[in-house]
Amino acid sequence: MFLFKKLIALFALYVFFGAQLHAQTIDVAGTVTSSEDGVAMPGVSVVAQGTTIGVITNFEGKYSLTVPAGVTKLIFSFVGMKTQEVDIENRTSIDVVLETDVLGLDEVIVTAYGTSKKGAFTGSAEQINSDDFDLRPISNITTAMEGKAAGVFVTAPDGQPGSSQSIRVRGFGSYSASSSPLYVVDGVPFSGTLNTINPADIESMTVLKDASSTALYGNKAANGVVLITTKKGRAGAGRLTVDVSAGITSRAQQEYDRIDAFEYYPIMWEAYRNSLAIPGIDDPADVTAANQQASNNIAGYLGYNPFNVADDQIVLNDGSMNPSAQFKGAYGEDRDWLGGITQQGQRQNYNVNYSGATDKVDYFISVGHLNEKGWIIESDFKRYTGRANVNIQATDWFKTGISIGATQSHGNMAQTGGSSSYVNPIRFTRQMGPIYPIHQLDPATGEYVLDDNGDKQYDIYDNRTSNSSTGRHVIAEIKWDDDIEERTQLMAKTYAEITFLKDFKFTTNLSFDQHFYYNSYYNNKFVGDGAPGGRAYRTSTRRNSANFNQLLNYVKSFGNHNLNILAGHESYSLRFNSLSGGKSEIIADGNTELGNFVTTLDLDSYEDNYTTEGYFARIDYNFNNRFFVTGSYRRDGSSKFFVDNRWGDFYSVGAAWRLEQESFIQGASWIDLLKLRGSYGQVGNDAGIDFYAYQALYGLGWNNQTASGIYQDKLMAAALLWESNNSFDIAVEFGFLNRIFGTLEFYHRISDNLLFEVPLPLSGGIDNQNQNIGTMYNQGIELSISVDIIKTSDFEWNLNANFSTLKNEFTKLPQEEIIDGSKKLMVGHSRYDYWLKEWMGVNPDDGSPLYRADVYSDTDTDILIQGSDTLTTDQNNARYGYFDSAIPGLYGAFTNSFSYKGFSLNFMFTYQVGGKVIDYNYQSIMSSGDYGASKGTDILNRWQAPGDVTDIPRMDVTNTTNSEATSTRWLTDASFINLRQLTFSYTFSQKVTGSWSKGLRIYVSGENLFLKSARKGMNVQQNFSGTTSNVYTPSRIFTIGANVTL
Amino acid sequence: MKNILYKIAILLTVSVLTFSCSEEFLETYPTDGVSSAAVTQTTDNAWAALNGIHRALYVRYEGTQGNGGLGSHYIVVDCMAEDHVVNNEQWYNQVYKWNAHRNATYYYNRFPWRMFYQWISNANTLINGVDEAAGPDDDKAVIKGQALIYRAFSHYEIVQLYAERYRPGGGNTQPGIPYMMENTPEGQPRVSVEDVYTNIHADLDAAIILLDGMPRNNKSHMNVDVARGLKARVLLTQGNYSGAAQWARDARNLAEGSYSLMDSATYYNGFRVNSESEGEYIWASQIINTEQNDKWAAYGAYISRNFSSSAIRGNPRSINSELYNLLSPTDVRTLNYSVDGEHDMLPSDVSLLSSHSRHPYTNQKFISVSSSDSRVDVPHMRLSELYLIEAEAEARLGNDGPAAAALLPMAQARDAQYTLSSNTGQALIDEIMVQRRVELWGEGFRWYDLKRLNEDLVRAGNHDPALADNVMFVAAGGVEWVWLIPQAELDANDAIEQNPLN
């Protein structure tokens, strides 16, 4: 460590004292125009080659620059135009015409601690620019990433307004540690909540995928990095941009189909009857008696009789619905629970920004407001954002700037947090039998029982069965309870940049993030967990993070040799404070603050600290813009590890070769680009594990009565160190015929020293210990292709598609097998291979569920031999096996963009081929019993009589455990295609808008418009592990909007 | 001028780049934990670690509210047997259906194994380390004695679940459980059931020596009486009736004056948060403030009648109607259950909400602080159990006279009309068992009793076959009486073997 610091010092001193400073300069001036229309181009960057000295053309496209001695070339660059290098040849006036760059090779992309030209970049990165998402009604920037970059795998958007989508870059790199990418906002690792960032303030997001591009983030980069860059002022006079949109939100995926009340009663009658006697199997006399008993008593088991016939006349003793039964009173209209929690959602978004730049100062100032109501009642998200980015070129050698962002948000969470919570509205309505009223109805007449004011009253009593959430009432509870999340995020960053000795630039960045979270939670005193006293909780957390770095850049060209060296140091600290309390028994109604309650339930606070520090260097070299080589190194320390293992070394090398620049290819004029690149490197991961991962601890707070208590929490893990990710990447980038462009890429990344919470024998008293045992690889092929199918002056049609494959496999594990829910980890298998009981269908003789038997003995009554298969009707004896995987064979997206004059239309489909979902939600509505719980329409295909060939077991309330056991029965094809988003816009020409506007565009935009998958209601993309649960189903959003620039 | 600027700039660069944070920058410590190394440095710390175990008796395990410590464990062991009737498809239904304990990946299967071994591990730290701590010797003795009781008691509870029953008369070479006396992450093999019981006795004997004559802070701590009572309880399980009778009698006599049976009025009033003042309790978890109570996971959140949880509103627990009907009408315990479920005889300070659903034979033996406060002290040992052990043991030895005499004080306390039993032989045993079943209803004994006595499970009366998945009869001695070893243990412990699946 010390040696490294010394080297940097020596290097700097050598440069300082050894360099000759002779000021023989030359002044150059000129004008830059565009080849397309010959119009002067403001904002073009003009740089003396091999130095950091440069200027930007003014509004008339003019520049003037003092060029240091020894510099022979000027470099002219502008986004979307081909960069030109012009020999100075002692001229003092140089005019340049820039040509459009269809390949975007000179496009500047944001990289770790700097920028690079796309054409010169040796790593694997994809940049998503604001044009890709600025018209979309998205409230979280993660949404903008879906489908836009090959190799990026995302979960479905949660319908809760403001929520994030989870993202995986190139597979699943970790197990116990986090597999999420690192988010970096304007160069600073982001520890806040992503929904505090206004997408309208974002200029671009760059997904760094391989080690060569991420290695400089050392210990945080193993699972990829997403660089988020906020907008800056562009050259020219100040421009005011106003964007206003408004729209509606609704449910994107409809609910599973479930049977209605007239089908429900006979089905449940049958479930009851079969528990007594089964026709065709049991004695006919017993069946007759059972039929009668079921008819007599079924209403008692279900609790409610919504029909105008006597309780024992609802289902006749042949099992059929009484034909004269009709809904009585309000029963006909009062059973739509799903309707009761559904609302017409709305979305309004306002963004105003003012930006511009002179040759000394650029500025971007914005305010934004979002107000979104979800499709479930009492779910919403309001956000106010403000941002100011100002950069000042104070002198020709000193630049500084400040960036400040502030966000305040307020979200109503509608109890959607816990999937199995009683009042999760999705679970509650999905599983509610179709016979239960929302309001109190008179049992005899079915008329509403009104209160003293003549209002309907919610049915909050315990008359339903427990399977129909007895005693709970989702509509009342959502309306009467509170669950409000408020966040305040303050981000401030400043920097100083000093240019010296013509080749050097020193930058120091200092940033602070403060994130405040405040949750107000209240359960009413009438129904639910708060009843009868009422209870309230408050949680307040604060997250302060500070990042401080110093970067030294050296840029030099020697003839055809171009060199760029970066050295730096960075320190990061995070402090997290939590204060929470809860009390019960409300005193005065209407006030839910804790002071208005009697009994303390909970009161706690704690603080956590996490720090990291790193030293790093990178060297970029290129020869004549044909060969490119990059090497980088970082030494990084983290407070999560014991002092002996605290520091890790990370590195990468990368190279690229632009073949189309070579003489042997230049003859083939149809080849616009042919670039080979490859990289290898090692990065680390310490995310997602405990802040004090190595420490042996007893937990505080285990007090008994008035005596303090502590309790064993975890064991020492002194040997714990970084999880390392060793990734290899090779790619070819190509461009043909000026129309077809793409990248074909292969990667193989090995996660080694996997951070595992290695399960210990429970008999040792401690569940697990953090250890670095395990190896896993992810491997895949990514193809991105963009084709300009039609390109005329008026009409353009571009098709952009990406295809990704993923193979994930363990090659080493801490123990032979680890069962993780429906998955089992074993060497040779993936992170998400299903390990399930093998479903073998239904016995046609008696409707029993069948599984492949695990243990067989002659005396067992549960065993059935069928051909060469030994089957069992006892799910406890079912044999487990590996069946399929949640990981799809192929996934990606394709986007069509059309433009005709001012019109533009683009829409994106995302898709997935292969993989399986284990549809627990479907399982929950397919029980063969469970009085009161709803049933899917597939239940109508159940076994009914000997000889029936079906895959749905007989209804039987006493055999539910065997019938509905988690098994391969619930595996469902996960392939899907989703019309994820569509945007249609019209840009008015300058002729129409005249002088009052520099631009006017109107648009309509939609999200989640159409989904085709194997089962209606199934949320295929809910999570990476392929399970479904009762989450807030994604929203469909339509908006119309206008964007004006003044 | 420019040269000077450059020099300043470069010096700045050099100084910043060579600056680094001190190594302390990367040293961070939690505010909600303490270093494990400190636990046995002083007796003060060791006291805190012992209190941590006391607290662990009433916290939530497995992240689910059905696994709220020892109280939940008692409900599990109770509702697998025939005297505890559930009225709805609700929490513990997989236990009631006899599925949970035979499903090695289910959290109800893992819950006791994991919980008790955690306590054992916490106890071992104290047993093996407290002698070296700085502090008074008396403190060390009391801490170590209680830790030994925890170790014995914990192994005793789980060996009854995860191994075949102890066969009276010996020859218990069947696999038991690992008896953990040292903390190690290395998986340990099962030792024989005989060895487990031998170790249990050794630990209890050591605890008795350490605790003899020592005071305790309150009844959430254990004293020598608890150790003696456990000796009797364990011996009864082993079918060592003479030993059980002797220890039960000794435990009672040596504590003369310390405990007394509840009177009828107290009993009628229900089991509440009154264990400290009520003389019948020998050992109980006392939850004296709401902050330490896990409202929805607490014992009282399932077993009380009046707390307002969906579990109690929808599924109040009933006594087996057939057992109830064996009670004399003058027995105060008949008032602990409402035959029609309407609870007309509730103590005057208790009321039910309209949302509390009504079912026959529901209990009001356990009464929580209020409908919004689920606290009920968790009874771990009561004086009446010592009488019952002695009576049963004497009766099974054929000593009818001493058996009837031992039963008398307890039976009479519950029923003023009760007179010395004139039953003999099996009839006397049956009478004592009825007393035991009713007296200890809901306190986690009945399934253990069936298993130790190798009796069939017979569910009748008010059990609903649909709720029980038709588990109305289970013949004694089958594999179903042995819980499967949790899969998590098997996965991480190469030295251990699963119980027979069929």
* Distance between first and last Cα of chain B: 93
Distance from CA of B193 to the nearest CA of A (A): 16
| B339 Ramachandran zone, left/alpha/beta (phi>0; psi -120 to 50) | alpha
Of A532, A700, A762, the CB nearest to B33: A700
The answer to whether residue A819 scores a pLDDT higher than 90 is: no
pLDDT computed for residue B8 by the predictor: 60
Q: How far apart are CA B454 and CA B1, in angstroms?
A: 100
* Residue A282 sits at the chain B interface (C-beta within 8 Å): no
Confidence band of B240 (pLDDT split at 50, 70, 90): very high
Shortest distance between the Cα of B183 and any Cα of chain A, in A, equals: 6
Instruction: Say yes or no: A12 contacts chain B, CB-CB below 8 A.
Output: yes
Q: How far apart are CA A579 and CA A559, in angstroms?
A: 62
Interface touch A704/B486, C-beta < 8 Å: no
Q: Is the distance from CB of A84 to CB of A75 less than 8 angstroms? A: yes
pLDDT at B7: 63
Secondary structure letter of residue A480 according to DSSP: H
DSSP string covering A512-567, please? EEEEEEEEEEEE-SSSSTTTTT-EEEEEEEEEEEEEEEEEEEEEEEETTEEEEEEE
Taking an 8 Å cut-off on Cβ atoms, the answer to whether A600 and B291 are in contact is: yes
User: Chain A residue with minimal CA distance to B357?
Assistant: A462
User: Mind telling me how many Å the CA of A460 is from chain B's nearest CA?
Assistant: 8
Q: Which residues in chain A have Cβ-Cβ distances shorter than 8 Å to B184?
A: 764
DSSP state letters, B185-222: SS--PPPBHHHHHHHHHHHHHHHHHHHTT---SSTTS-
* pLDDT for residue A1: 43
Inter-residue contact A1024 to A886 (CB < 8 Å): yes
What is the C-alpha to C-alpha distance for residues A49 and A557, in angstroms, rounded to an integer?
A: 7
Q: Are A943 and A871 in contact (CB under 8 A)?
A: no
Rounded percentage of chain B residues whose pLDDT exceeds 70: 96
Is A709 touching B (CB cutoff 8 A)? yes
Q: Which residues of A touch B59 (CB under 8 A)?
A: 702
C-beta separation of A489 from A511 below 8 A:
no
Give A-chain residues touching B492 at CB under 8 angstroms. Answer: 758-762, 815
Asked whether the beta carbons of residue A470 and residue B16 sit closer than 8 angstroms, the reply is: no
**A482 within 8 A of A520, measured Cβ to Cβ:** yes
B-contacting residues of A 627-666, CB under 8 Å? 637-639, 643, 646
**pLDDT attached to residue B13:** 59
With CB atoms and an 8 Å threshold, state whether A857 touches B502.
Answer: yes
- Pick the range with the lowest mean pLDDT from A570-574, A623-627, A971-975: A623-627
Say if residues A350 and A244 touch (Cβ distance below 8 Å).
Answer: yes
Residue pointed to by tokens 């934004």: A368
d(CA B478, CA A893): 57
CA distance A121 to B329: 91
- Strands A182-185 and A225-230 come out as parallel
pLDDT for position A16: 45
Q: Tell if the CB–CB gap between B49 and A470 is shorter than 8 Å.
A: no
Please indicate if any CB of chain B lies within 8 Å of the CB of A15: yes
A837 pLDDT more than 70: yes
pLDDT digits 0-9 by tens, A405-439: 999 999 998 776 666 677 889 999 999 999 999 99
| Residue B5 reports pLDDT greater than 70 | no
d(CA A873, CA A849): 6
Phi-psi region of B184 (alpha: psi -120 to 50; beta: other; left: phi over 0): beta
Distance from CA of B105 to the nearest CA of A (A): 9
Q: Which is more confidently placed, A1033 or A237? A: A1033
Contact A713 B114 (CB under 8 A): no
A594 and chain B in contact, CB less than 8 A = no
What pLDDT does B12 receive? 59
Give A292 or A559, the one with higher predicted confidence: A292
What is the per-residue pLDDT across B86-106, written as a single tens digit (0 to 9) for each?
A: 998 888 999 999 989 998 889
Nearest to A269 by CA among A311, A236, A231, A227: A311
Indicate which of A704, A721, A848 best probes the interface with B, i.e. most B CBs within 10 Å of its own CB.
A704
**Mean pLDDT across A454-471:** 87
**Pick from A197, A1, A188: which is nearest to A112 by CA?**
A188
Phi, psi of A140 (to 5 degrees): -135, 130
Q: How far is B393 from chain A (nearest CA, A)?
A: 33
CB atoms within 10 A of CB B456: 12
Helix (H, G, I), strand (E, B) or coil at B431: helix
pLDDT for the residue B18: 55
Q: Specify whether the CB–CB gap between A446 and A306 falls below 8 A.
A: yes
pLDDT tens per residue, range A762-777: 999 999 888 898 999 9
Mutate to test the interface with B, among A470, A763, A769, A960 (most CBs of B within 10 A): A763
Contacts of A80 by beta carbon, 8 Å cutoff, 6+ apart: A100, A101, A104, A107
**Alpha-carbon gap, residue B196 to B180, rounded angstroms:** 10
* B201: pLDDT strictly greater than 70: yes
By Cβ distance, the residue of B288, B465, B493 closest to A958 is B465
Percent of chain B's residues with pLDDT above 90:
80
**Nearest of A1027, A189, A47 to residue A547 by alpha carbon:** A189
Chain A residues close to B122, C-beta within 8 Å: 711-712, 765
Return the higher-pLDDT residue of B333 and A66.
Answer: B333
Q: Count of H helices and E strands in chain B?
A: 18, 9
Does the structure show a pLDDT above 80 at A667? no
Residue A170 has pLDDT above 60, yes or no: yes
Any CB–CB contact under 8 A between A397 and chain B? yes
Contact A106, A42 (CB under 8 A): no
Check CB contact under 8 Å for B51 and A501: no
pLDDT in tens, A315-360: 999 999 999 999 999 999 999 999 999 999 999 999 999 998 887 8
| B354 contacts on A by Cβ (under 8 Å) | 461
With tokens 């509606």, the residue in question is: A248
Q: Which of A185-194, A372-381, A543-552, A642-651 has the lowest mean pLDDT?
A: A185-194
Would you state the pLDDT for residue B277? 93
Average pLDDT over chain A, rounded to an integer: 89
A497 to chain B: closest CA residue = B9
Shortest Cα distance from B275 to chain A (angstroms)? 13
Closest by alpha carbon to A233, among A81, A43, A79, A76?
A: A43
Position B124 confidence tier, pLDDT thresholds 50, 70, 90: very high
Where residue A19 falls among pLDDT bands split at 50, 70, 90? Answer: very low
Residue from A710, A818, A874 to probe the interface with B (highest B Cβ count within 10 Å): A710
Confirm if A421 and A472 have CB atoms less than 8 A apart. no
What mean pLDDT comes out for the span A608-637? 92
Asked if A762's CB is within 8 angstroms of B113's CB, the reply is yes
From CA B250, how far away is CA A125, in angstroms rounded?
Answer: 79
Pairs of residues, one from chain A and one from chain B, whose beta carbons lie less than 8 Å apart: 334
Query: What residue of A is the nearest CA neighbor of B293?
Result: A601
Dihedrals phi, psi of A540, to nearest 5 degrees:
-130, 125
pLDDT band at A1010 (very low <50, low <70, confident <90, very high): very high
Q: What is the pLDDT of residues B249-301, one digit of tens each?
A: 999 999 988 999 999 999 999 999 999 999 999 999 999 888 899 988 999 99
Average pLDDT over residues A795-824: 91
Q: What is the least distance, in Å, from the CA of A202 to any CA of chain B?
A: 31
Alpha-carbon torsion A493, A499, A503, A506, what sign? negative
**Chain A residues with CB-CB distance to B502 below 8 A:** 855, 857, 860, 877
Counts of helices then strands in chain A (DSSP H, E):
11, 53
Select the residue of B89, B118, B470 nearest A466 (Cβ to Cβ): B89
pLDDT at residue A660 tops 70: yes
A711/B contact by beta carbon, under 8 A: yes
* Token reading at A159: 């319908």
In A, which residues are within 8 Å of B124 by CB distance?
765
pLDDT band at B9, cuts 50/70/90? low
pLDDT confidence of residue A103: 65
Q: Which of A8, A470, A698 sits opposite B34 (nearest CB)?
A: A698
Q: Confirm or reject contact between A615 and chain B (CB < 8 A).
A: yes
Average pLDDT on A645-660 reads 91
Contacts A704 to B, Cβ<8 Å: 51-52, 54-55, 220, 292
Mean pLDDT throughout B473-492?
A: 93
- Its ipTM equals 0.94
**Residues of chain A numbered 811-830 and touching chain B (CB < 8 Å):** 815, 817-819
Where are any strands of DSSP class E within A358-468?
361-373, 379-393, 398-413
Query: Would the CB atoms of B53 and A15 count as touching at under 8 Å?
Result: no
| B122–A9 CB contact, under 8 Å | no
Tokens, residue B359: 């079912």
Q: Which of A422, A606, A763 sits opposite B493 (nearest CB)?
A: A763
pLDDT score for A5: 52
At residue A659, the pLDDT reads: 87
d(CA A640, CA A1025): 28
Residue A989: exposure state from Cβ atoms within 10 A (0-12, 13-18, ≥19): exposed
The predicted model gives A104-124 an average pLDDT of 81
B208-242 burial, b at 16+ Cβ within 10 Å, e below that, comes to bebbeeeebeebbbbbbbbbbbbbbbbbbbbbbbe
Chain A, 751 to 770: residues with Cβ < 8 Å from chain B are 758-767, 769
Average confidence (pLDDT) over A917-942:
94
State yes or no: pLDDT of A22 exceeds 70.
Answer: no
Tell whether the model's pLDDT for residue A13 goes beyond 80.
Answer: no
Chain B residues touching A819 at Cβ < 8 A: 105, 487, 491
Q: What is the pLDDT of residues B394-420, one digit of tens each?
A: 999 999 999 999 999 999 999 999 999
Tokens of A262: 């007239």
